[in-house]
Structure 1
Amino acid sequence: MFDVLLTNAKIVDGANTPWYMGDVGITGDRITAVGNLKGQEAKEIFDLAGRVLAPGFIDVHTHFDLLPFPFSESKYRTSEHRTRQGITTVVVGCCGISVSPMSAERSVQWMDESQSVKDFPEDKWLHFGDYLDDMSRQRMNTNFAAYVGHGALRYSVMGNEAREPSEEELEKMKERLRESMEAGALGMSTGLIYQPGVHAKTAELIALTEVLKETGGVYVSHMRSEGAQWIASVQEVIDICEANKIPGIMHHLKTKNKESGEQVKTVLRMIEEARGRGVDIVFDQYPYQASATTMTVALPLWARSGDQEEILERITNPENRQRLKEGIRQDYGWKNMEEEKAGTDNFL
């Protein structure tokens, strides 16, 4: 006898097969039978009358790292709005931004800069395992999984310094990544247009992802460019994964260039060719034609080093105005008036 029997369902099972009509039997918290279960007994029977029945969706890219905690003022802290959409698992720690691990001396500032949380306890979630344990004790309607953010790793050791790490600093980042992976992280994410990830060279990322090879993790990346350097950014992700033979995911693959038809063909060909060589590389996308991020990503690199006060001082200095304009056009891909107009016409 089943605990629950769902009958007359249009089953979409995620196995890349067409939908089919059938029944699903559940015992405890496990699906124990799928198929024609007519005549089977159950404690509860629900006739779905042809409605779609599918496995829960996994939202592979969210920024809900703090959603179930008191730091969030959202009325959706239990994630009920997610389950009503069929989402049963959310993934956090994307785009290089995770709330842990962190160093005690930088914890308060990191949470202010990355999460806009004031008065954060400096000794909270210094270790990734502490964050996962705390998350598991919250009241949530979904499962969760988490990446370690490269931004958090780098900030914990170097802050927002615009330079390469020393050997000692790199080893410290690797130690914290290894500890986080052993605590249960899925892998490491990067946000290479954000502080402090924007200052990391490819060699740093290849060195860090050696830890993912050791621990069976995945590398996921918000790439360096979705404009003028898009193709080079895609190639960088492929190179990092190929160097250490690790799986990789490109976050929200897209380009902001309106005349992008040939570029899209080139990028898809690059991914197919890499997969043909045995590189386990894929990408995710969102189903709408918009994006949102911080305005600081448009600033040239020289203006983005240091903390928020230092950045504000540079961009409000009248002597830097012309240099800022030139850097934005060059670094962000607005190299001439036509490109600049194509971009700004689409700003909200």
Structure 2
Amino acid sequence: MADDFLLSNARIIDGTGAPWFRGDVRVRDGRIVEMGPRLPRSGEVIDVAEQWLAPGFIDAHCHDDLIFLREPDRPEKIAQGVTTIVVGNCSFSLYPTVDASHELLRDHFAGLLGETDASEIFRDLASYRTALHTAGIAPNLVSLTGHAALRLAVMGYEKRDATDAEIARMQALLATQLQQGSVGISFGLVYPPSAFADARELIALGKTAAEHGKLVAAHIRSYEGGLLLAIHEFLDVLQQSGAAGLLSHLQAAGRPSWGTMPRAIGRLESARLDGVDVSFDMYPYMAGSSYMLQLLPPDALEGGIPALLQRLRDPSQRETLQLRTENGDPGNPSKVALIGWGNVQISAIGIPELKALEGLRMDAAAAQLGTSPFDLLVRCVEEDEGRTGIIMFQLSEDDVRCACSHGLHMTGSDGLPRPGSKVHPRAFGTFPRMAGRLRRQEKWFGIEDSVRRMTSIAAQRFGLYDRGVIRPGAVADLVVFSDAIDDRATFDTPSQLATGVRDVFVNGEAVLREGKLSGRRPGRVL
């Protein structure tokens, strides 16, 4: 692609939510330099042919940290029109480490995304960035710093409150990452060891983020019956730290919690009236995804996987753990109690002889093996080292629509890439679903609002002020797509590429032209 080119005859959606209009856009040296009707023809002219021209989509929440190192062209994201991807979510990032925490972080990350090589864990963001830039990446990457890496570096898997000195060490480690370009910190308050932190620790780390003008994102402590209390805790952290906040994948999980979404969003709206800068992301599906360890009580992971395996070998402790997993604690029902084994589907498993169970619900898989769902879980922990992925069918359409059509919402796929497995289809279909069927058939929003949720809202939240919009001076991250844009990935065939995206430009260079990957890697760690 030439440095100077003109996208002509387009229906332009500028990303702000303003009505679309017909016009041309000129790009030079990676930026938009001119826009308007019937611009002079010079350089290469690309006829958009009355298709939509929008800012490149921003995946505000996903877990592509590892797959970027292995598949830097990110074809399933480019096919959706995604030009920038935010990683490091839910307390999971590939950095930072100290010598004593390298293997701990490696095991922690592998729990979510499968086998992770020692060379794929990094000392800091700078070394992660160097690895990505050395190989080249097609889309841009934005990274949060995972709280788990900080805690593992300072405290390991100890389940206790951090001392003042330990908090200070975590703050110093976080400050280094923020200075190197991390856009903030992410908490994962159901995932040990992040789940072991008290409010004092969270607020202190939030203050460090605020001092650097950076963000606090959080997978909060509960999306079930404790949703409103968990939102209150997060808002308190933001208020006391002064940081801007992003509540990750806002949802009301489990049938007893369905219908809670308007009250949950109301809490966020009230907080904004009180001066708390908070917004949220969410994916447009009625199922979530995680690792199988999330079905266990968080304290079961005190000391890490080795300690959990030791507990499971003790008949008495195993029996207690089964009761808590299937029923919960007094006043706190477990995930399994709320949604049932029949709504938990195996999505990714590293045990070759059990690979055929991918795509089956836990009750059906256990019956096929002549065992119980809990015993199957234990086998996965023992043989797959806790790295088994699951999909949880736990959300109501009314709640998801309420979240995904609210003004504070931005789009994040929350994709968990595990090539060769039956992962959640959101990794392959989130953005075409937003711009396609949810707009056309379901009428959740108009085309301008759909695009705004995938572009400018996320760009503003992550401080990408020259992206996410089409205007002179903005970086030329752009997507051309037809009105027939559609997602094809399903829970049975989750790796089908989206259709309807014709061209994608990253930093002014074409990574997709006429539906074909160019092989270029102009992306950067922003």
Q: Structure 1 length as normaliser, TM-score?
A: 0.91
Is the contact between residue 239 and residue 276 of structure 2 (CA under 8 Å) also seen in structure 1?
yes
Distance in 1, Cα, partners of 2:51 & 2:90: 36
Comparing 60-69 with 199-208, which one deviates more in the overlay? 60-69
Q: Which amino acid aligns with 1:112?
A: D
1:95 aligns with 2:96: no
1:86 aligns with 2:89: no
Is the contact between residue 190 and residue 298 of structure 2 (CA under 8 Å) also seen in structure 1?
no
Partner of 2:118: 120
Cα deviation for residue 132 of structure 1 reads 2.1
Distance 1:59 1:91, change over 3 A: same
Q: Which amino acid aligns with 2:91?
A: G
Partner of 1:330: 328
Percent of residue pairs identical:
32
Listed as ranges, the matches of 1:118-267 within 5 Å are 120-121=118-119, 125-267=122-264
Comparing 89-98 with 325-334, which one deviates more in the overlay? 325-334
Of structures 1 and 2, the one with the larger relative CO (CA 8 A, separation 6+) is: 2
Cα deviation for residue 261 of structure 1 reads 4.6
Partner of 2:49: 49
SS at match of 1:4: strand
SS at match of 2:162: coil
Q: Which amino acid aligns with 1:330?
A: G
Is the contact between residue 87 and residue 144 of structure 2 (CA under 8 Å) also seen in structure 1?
yes
Cα deviation for residue 286 of structure 1 reads 0.3
Is the contact between residue 7 and residue 24 of structure 1 (CA under 8 Å) also seen in structure 2?
yes
Cα deviation for residue 151 of structure 1 reads 0.5
Q: 2:290 aligns with which of 290, 293, 315?
A: 293
Cα deviation for residue 342 of structure 1 reads 4.0
Cα displacement string for residues 204-244 of structure 1 (whole angstroms, at most 9, x for unaligned residues):
10011111111011000011111121111111111111112
SS at match of 1:31: strand
Q: Structure 2 length as normaliser, TM-score?
A: 0.61
Distance 1:13 1:117, change over 3 A: same
Cα deviation for residue 343 of structure 1 reads 3.2
CA RMSD, aligned part only?
Answer: 2.2
1:21 aligns with 2:22: yes
Is the contact between residue 144 and residue 185 of structure 2 (CA under 8 Å) also seen in structure 1?
yes
Distance in 1, Cα, partners of 2:117 & 2:179: 29
Partner of 1:36: 37
Is the contact between residue 227 and residue 333 of structure 1 (CA under 8 Å) also seen in structure 2?
no
Is the contact between residue 217 and residue 246 of structure 2 (CA under 8 Å) also seen in structure 1?
yes
Is the contact between residue 224 and residue 257 of structure 2 (CA under 8 Å) also seen in structure 1?
no
Is the contact between residue 153 and residue 177 of structure 1 (CA under 8 Å) also seen in structure 2?
yes
Distance 1:341 1:233, change over 3 A: closer
Cα displacement string for residues 97-150 of structure 1 (whole angstroms, at most 9, x for unaligned residues):
11111111220232133134455159x621222222322222211111100000
Cα displacement string for residues 55-98 of structure 1 (whole angstroms, at most 9, x for unaligned residues):
001111121112232xx4xxx43213322211111111111011
Give the gaps of 5 or more residues in structure 1: none
Cα displacement string for residues 274-312 of structure 1 (whole angstroms, at most 9, x for unaligned residues):
011111100000011111112222322442200211101
Listed as ranges, the matches of 1:276-315 within 5 Å are 276-315=273-312
Partner of 1:270: 267
SS at match of 2:328: helix
Is the contact between residue 6 and residue 26 of structure 2 (CA under 8 Å) also seen in structure 1?
yes
Comparing 293-302 with 280-289, which one deviates more in the overlay? 293-302
Distance 1:140 1:212, change over 3 A: same
Distance in 1, Cα, partners of 2:193 & 2:286: 27
Distance 1:180 1:342, change over 3 A: closer
Is the contact between residue 160 and residue 305 of structure 1 (CA under 8 Å) also seen in structure 2?
yes
